[in-house]
Amino acid sequence: MTASDLIQITDSHCHLDFPDFDAERPEVIARALEVGVTRMVTICTRLKNEPQVRAIAEAHAPVFYAAGTHPMSAADEPMTTVEELVAMAQHPKFVGIGETGLDYHYTADSAAVQKQSLPIHIEAARQTGLPLIIHSRDADADMADILTSEHANGAFSCVMHCYTSGPDLAKAALDLGFYLSMSGIATFPKSQEVRDIFAAAPVERVLVETDSPYLAPKPFRGKRNEPGYTVHTAKVGAEVFGMDFADFAAQTQANFDRLFWKAAQFKAVA
């Protein structure tokens, strides 16, 4: 099988700058390409690391990047500004704002700071037209309220990354025209509720991701995740929607291109 014969998919959310990949980053990217994962969006979670994340995207043709302040880091990092995010977004391979959001599972004590940080990212998404990348854990009601009220104040696009929250937040996000991203968690035997939430969503609003190095899908659960494993999550996604893998992969590619329009339009300078 040649590269052109492979079914192509995109890992819409990974963390290639994390030290887990330091010893073999080029090899990890090469392995992804070998199985048909032809694009990867690597996510910067602390803005002080943006230069390193940007450098990875610049060094590897299949890699794009996004940047924001992760909610679990919001209390430890300087508060960003809309202007700072908009300036970063001028880079040709910068394709999304975030990840940002709310995490009350590990960092409920910093909820107030997280609620300050999130609207700054939302406004940057509005101004740039780039998708907001949301992390939400144990914060369904607040997240639904903030996204709904902010959207009423001015539209923006958004993906709920690694979606594992409840059906009510999923409905609120989908009602706003947002997207849900499926991670390796959807492949776990005990994740039927997650699969049911995706099955109830429009397939035109679904992406796939790894969140690597975390959350490796079956059959790699418990090991370090990497972008090439997106294929295993996508195969489960195809089963959830009762589709052939090739058709589901093509649908998620179209979805990614629609939401992450800047990556879809990117043309490398010769």
In a domain, 270, yes or no: no
In a domain, 246, yes or no: yes
Residue 1 has pLDDT above 70, yes or no: no
Residue 2 has pLDDT above 50, yes or no: no
How much is the mean pLDDT over the chain? Answer: 96
In a domain, 132, yes or no: yes
Read off the pLDDT of each residue in 180-193 and give the average, rounded to a whole number: 97
Helix (H) or strand (E) holding 57: helix 50-59
In a domain, 83, yes or no: yes
Give the predicted TM-score (pTM) of the model. Answer: 0.96
- Sign of CA pseudo-dihedral 221, 226, 232, 238: positive
Read off the pLDDT of each residue in 209-218 and give the average, rounded to a whole number: 97
To the nearest 10°, report the CA torsion of 166, 69, 72, 77: -160
- What is the per-residue pLDDT for 5? 76
- What is the per-residue pLDDT for 181? 98
Read off the pLDDT of each residue in 206-226 and give the average, rounded to a whole number: 96
Domain hosting 204: range is 3-265
Return d(Cα 79, Cα 121) in angstroms, integer: 11
In a domain, 252, yes or no: yes
In a domain, 44, yes or no: yes
- What is the per-residue pLDDT for 267? 84
pLDDT in tens, 118-167: 999 999 999 999 999 999 999 999 999 999 999 999 999 999 999 999 99
Q: Residue 260 corresponds to which amino acid?
A: F
pLDDT in tens, 73-91: 999 999 999 999 999 999 9
Please report, for the chain, how many H helices and E strands are present, in that order: 10, 8
> Which CATH number do you get for residue 52?
3.20.20.140
- What is the per-residue pLDDT for 269? 60
Read off the pLDDT of each residue in 29-57 and give the average, rounded to a whole number: 98
Domain count, the chain: 1
In a domain, 16, yes or no: yes
